[in-house]
Structure 1
Amino acid sequence: MNSTLGDNAAAGDHWNVDPNVLAVPQDVTEVLEVSVGHHGKLALMGEFESTSAIHAVVPGFCPKPIGWGTFRNDPKSHFYICKFYDFGEGVPEPVSFCESLARLHSNHSSPEGKFGFHCTTYNGDLPQDNSWCDSWEEFFTNGLRHILNVREERAGPCPELDALLPQLFDKVIPRLLRPLESGGRSIKPSLVHGDLWCGNTGIVHDPTTRGIVYDPSSFWAHNEYELGNWLPTRNEFTLEHFQAYRSHMPEAEPKDDYDDRIALYSLRFNLHAAALFPEKEEFVQMVMDEIKRLSEKYPKGYTE
């Protein structure tokens, strides 16, 4: 649903819109997000489309999306409405949470079997390149180059990082991703949350206790990409979460490359952090350290 909203029409008049201050009554059943400007509009549209896609596959695994649009009396301000949950503390229990995640990833209804998404989605305030691609290697490469450019725009040039990129793109990425789609192997695009770290999960009790996800930045991807965000130490997902997930979604072939594929995927999430927090140099250092390790391990790149 895309619409315009009057000053007092949000969520059944449960909200007072300031538009920056939101008063939350105890009996609230919906939550309202407000954003301003062109990118704010695209971000809320992307969140609505992402949440709608997830909810269509696994109802109850995310807050039910209700609508998004533009305020009638303030065309520069935009809104997104979804079901409200009062979250409990902690990280979702591995078994049931990963079962729901595997159900999401088992959906392979991407248009024409392509990797990408039909609109821009935002990781934080970072627009993602979701342009459709026939191969996962091409899509991942495009997305990684895009976020590298965004990081440089926000944080400035990093010659040490730039010097590592030719080996990454020419050798490491082909070596780790091309085998997924060659030699008789193939992967089907899976719908991913796109920013699945512990801070975008919650525990609800309505009436059963379960873990849910929110604030997605979805696209159709290799399902293992989702796990790249679980690898950084700042996350709170445990080895038990990895094991529970793999009990439903085993490692893709070649399995021997699994650990390094996840490490490769984690580069993009650490680059997101580097772009979101340019003052924190440790994120770029983590990226450079991992590129060096992978480059030393795979100096020859992909061979037939």
Structure 2
Amino acid sequence: METSLREHIEAVMGRKILSANPVSGGDISLAFKIDLEGEPLFCKYHKGAQGFTMLQAEKTGLEAISATGCIKTPRVLHLGKLKISACLLMEYVERGHPSEKNMAHFGEQLARLHGTKQPLFGWDTDNFIGSLPQSNASKQTWPEFYTTERLGPQLRMAFDKGLLSRDEVPGENLMEARLRGLCSETRPSLIHGDLWGGNYLISTEDEAYLIDPSVSYSHPGMDLAMSRLFGGFSPAFYSGYESAASDLVPEQDEIELYQLYYLLVHLNLFGVSYAASVKRILRRFF
């Protein structure tokens, strides 16, 4: 851990750091488990100009989810700006071993989170999906929001990077028109927004926690789509979700349509290995 970060944490928390050990924190941030005179903390650390903005968006998302009372998130303790970096301090949650009962309850809790509604799709501010910017301008309908705030920006980015050709990028008018007939109707739901297997944990106290959110008011099928993209969660999770869901759970075709967004994100972050999956879904639906 860099001296400036150590000094900053000790100053704002008023205690000495006894140890700081690197832990897995994803591909974007450095992450540490800190022993602060007997109290374990989790620290995310971003270098660079947009580090503070990214961590601020994460803090906002964690607090918005927590405020619903539907499911836990790690308690945020401090967001700090250093000279050319930023840090986010949270309570440290010890990861346990999920049981089928835990996962079913997690599914029920996610369904209740999705029951948090508002009139418009979007979010108060733009945020991030991974390290990529995510636009959240308010829209009245889901097809318009999914077209203009999700698929459109990622498709343009992929084209600009030479990952998709002009012929492979459908126009927004065509996409929105097609989506009107493909998407199930729903009121805007509060979603995690990036719900893969690394962005939740079951604690040693058998409680589910959501981490690293990319929140918005969107179609609840987006969280289900991401959860199924790389092998899926346990069957108990989906059974629990369906037992508590207030909206109809999307069929597989619609789930695949929403996976397109996350595959585009992976294409833009990690390159051509995701191109074939993106092109297949684009050909199928547009």
TM-score range, shorter chain: 0.7 to 0.9
Give the SS at the match of 2:125. coil
Per-residue CA shift, 1:55-109, capped at 9, x if unaligned? 10126521112232313xx2x221212211121355874311011111211112x
Give the SS at the match of 1:217. coil
**Structure 2 Cα separation of the partners of residues 22 and 127 of structure 1:** 25
Which of 80, 83, 101 is 2:91 aligned to?
83
| TM-aligned CA deviation for residue 282 of structure 1 | 3.1
**Structure 2 Cα separation of the partners of residues 115 and 203 of structure 1:** 29
Give the SS at the match of 2:49. helix
Q: Following superposition of structure 1 onto structure 2, how do residues 277-288 of structure 1 map, counting pairs within 5 Å?
A: 277-278=270-271, 281-288=272-279
**Structure 1 Cα separation of the partners of residues 245 and 135 of structure 2:** 26
Per-residue CA shift, 1:182-206, capped at 9, x if unaligned? xxxxx32111100011111112023
Does residue 43 of the first structure (1) align with residue 51 of the second (2)? no
Which of 151, 163, 174 is 2:168 aligned to?
163
| TM-aligned CA deviation for residue 12 of structure 1 | 4.3
Match of 2:284 in 1: 293
Would the aligned equivalents of 1:197 and 1:235 in 2 still touch at CA under 8 Å?
A: no
Give the SS at the match of 1:216. coil
Match of 1:13 in 2: 15
Does residue 222 of the first structure (1) align with residue 219 of the second (2)? yes
| TM-aligned CA deviation for residue 235 of structure 1 | 3.6
Match of 2:40 in 1: 29
**Structure 1 Cα separation of the partners of residues 265 and 62 of structure 2:** 20
Would the aligned equivalents of 2:126 and 2:135 in 1 still touch at CA under 8 Å?
A: yes
Residue segments in structure 2 that go unaligned for 5+ positions in a row? 1-6, 21-28
Per-residue CA shift, 1:141-191, capped at 9, x if unaligned? 1121112223344x42422x74352496155323213x62xxxxxx32111
**Structure 1 Cα separation of the partners of residues 144 and 258 of structure 2:** 14
| TM-aligned CA deviation for residue 291 of structure 1 | 2.3
Match of 2:210 in 1: 213
Aligned in 2, Cα 1:237/1:7: closer, same or farther, shift over 3 Å? closer
Per-residue CA shift, 1:224-268, capped at 9, x if unaligned? 221110232x2441444323211111553xx7x732221111100
Would the aligned equivalents of 1:11 and 1:32 in 2 still touch at CA under 8 Å?
A: no
**Structure 2 Cα separation of the partners of residues 152 and 81 of structure 1:** 37
Per-residue CA shift, 1:13-35, capped at 9, x if unaligned? 35489x96857338343222121
**Structure 2 Cα separation of the partners of residues 25 and 120 of structure 1:** 34
TM-score, structure 1 as length reference: 0.77
Does residue 149 of the first structure (1) align with residue 156 of the second (2)? yes
Match of 1:174 in 2: 180
Report the residue type matching 1:29 in the other structure: P
Report the residue type matching 1:25 in the other structure: D
Give the SS at the match of 2:207. strand
Q: Give the fraction of aligned pairs with identical amino acids, expressed as a percent.
A: 25
**Structure 2 Cα separation of the partners of residues 128 and 247 of structure 1:** 31
**Structure 2 Cα separation of the partners of residues 246 and 23 of structure 1:** 36
Match of 2:203 in 1: 204
**Structure 1 Cα separation of the partners of residues 177 and 276 of structure 2:** 20
**Structure 2 Cα separation of the partners of residues 9 and 23 of structure 1:** 17
Match of 1:248 in 2: 244
Report the residue type matching 1:289 in the other structure: R
Match of 1:57 in 2: 68
TM-score, structure 2 as length reference: 0.82
**Structure 2 Cα separation of the partners of residues 135 and 283 of structure 1:** 29
**Structure 1 Cα separation of the partners of residues 216 and 47 of structure 2:** 24
Would the aligned equivalents of 1:122 and 1:128 in 2 still touch at CA under 8 Å?
A: yes
Would the aligned equivalents of 2:128 and 2:134 in 1 still touch at CA under 8 Å?
A: yes
Report the residue type matching 1:263 in the other structure: E
